[in-house]
Structure 1
């Protein structure tokens, strides 16, 4: 499969996984999906900026791009330089150290690329530099839980007896778990305190 197609499949998987993770992080809460609120019978505060929809749709792209560029870099250049046997592919089974480094690095790179983009184009930000720097440590803290991706993947494959690649229903489970932990560890506890002021209004809090 070409790089563009792989990125496209992973993008769709990350969009769905990010959306599903909100049900775990904020069960029984009304969230702000911007213009989509109309379909849910909710008030619309802003159409796009600062909404869950903007986050879900946008962050998936740099994450998918960073993921596959990193995979190709490891497979084509870094693993051979580290003297792995020819043809060895990046995986938790055959290259556990490089793989764990890869998942943390691509996640942090993709997230911070989104944060920088949002800080630059989002008109709601008053201090654009602070919008970036304030996210660096929390996101790094969250990315350290990316081990949930291969751990959940191995559990799903063991229980189902099937592989769980991106683009399949089973393939949604590992990235959803990763979104839950990365977002969860990157937020202050309790998670409900991280609702936006408008979302607290929606939930009468």
Structure 2
């Protein structure tokens, strides 16, 4: 259920995969009807929602192109009511992001100070630059990585974090039992996992991931 009090639509870069077609113009698949939709058709369907989550594989350029096309289509539909929220930016860099959008900070200085992902220029800059052109707010959505690392290194605890950094933590954090945790443990324990962790470390790393989710 969408929170009726939310006033913006946020296109977030990391959660719900909407589907995509072949090379060229973006095509999305409606999971209920199995029909293909253009970006404009999908944007029309999404107008009734306050928040839209867009899932991605971070290293697939085609998906980032589809994100841009959907963002452009949603801007045509929603205009000034639209905001862009991005996982790749961490909340302690919001002021730097705002200054870049306001043209009071150069792109070079912005990127030097904001810890962008390696593929920012090719895959994420088009989204940010479109938002900048349209004077659209861009929200840095992720917890600072040094705080997530603190949780991972301190047995899932946020104790010891300096008071000045508490503003960047979510008001509530959850590390739920159940299917999500089971899937996380299975993925991190699989032979294909990029990180090989001993069982004793999984709980702390899971808590750090949940902190980012929250």
TM-score by length of 2: 0.29
| Structure of higher RCO (CA pairs closer than 8 Å, 6+ residues apart) | 1
| TM-score after normalising by structure 1 | 0.30
Q: Going by fraction, where is strand more abundant, 1 or 2? A: 2
